[in-house]
Structure 1
Amino acid sequence: MKEKEKKELLASLYSDYRAYAEPSLIFVLKYADNTKYNTFKYHLDGASYTYNIALNNDFTGGGLDYRMGNRYFGEEKEFHVPHNRTGWAVIQPNRPLHVHRGVPLESGTRYAMINIIETNDAGSKGGPAWIMSS
């Protein structure tokens, strides 16, 4: 990491910077192994960030799949997050390079609290300046 990048990262993490944020949508999502709401296609949530909080763990399968990077340049990576630790959250930006989907359950019912956040934070709208200029 270049010195300029380190300084920008540290300044954004530890300065007196404050951003305004408000929830644009909060709901409980129910996945069940025997319904059409068992999974979703890859998508973005349409705001700056999403908090996905696991509310239970008495199911098998499920979780979240992410597709990150740029497929046109052969840099796309896929990875799976089990997301079955009750009370734990997955927090993700909603940028074109961070699409995600719910993974089908094998058995049981999964509940998750979803909090979609909108913010005025310019950094959430495409990343730090050094990423955009390279």
Structure 2
Amino acid sequence: MLKFTSTCTSQCKLLPPLACECHVRCWKCERLMKVLLPLLIKDTRVTMAEDIKAKLENYRTAPFDARFPNQNQTRNCWSNYLDYHRCQKALDAKGADNAPCEWYRRVYKSLCPMSWIQKWDEQRAEGTFPGKI
């Protein structure tokens, strides 16, 4: 485990944070990385969207999820159902396209029994759904 220092090294002050070797150990550079990294990743969002579309086109059934290694996939079903509706709610609030949420919908549709989905949809409509969406 790396320990963080409270001051930057002289090398850090001369080089940009991404080229600096101490950015992992320095609190100042760590904060800069949290600000700069999303800006650098912003350019790759187009390719990420294309990757998501390609995965959706090649989708057959729910892939292996290391969080749920056992045969019982009940929790996997529940998590993907919640993730889909959380994703949909968040993107609707931003006014963005819901296409990234489609993955969760396909996974929970392939894992969950239809009776569960119908029951949960009714509970959401009535306002008695037990999950946090």
TM-score where L is the length of structure 2: 0.27
Instruction: Answer 1 or 2: higher relative contact order, Cα 8 Å, separation at least 6.
Output: 1
- Whose Rg is larger? 2
The answer to which structure has the higher helix fraction is 2
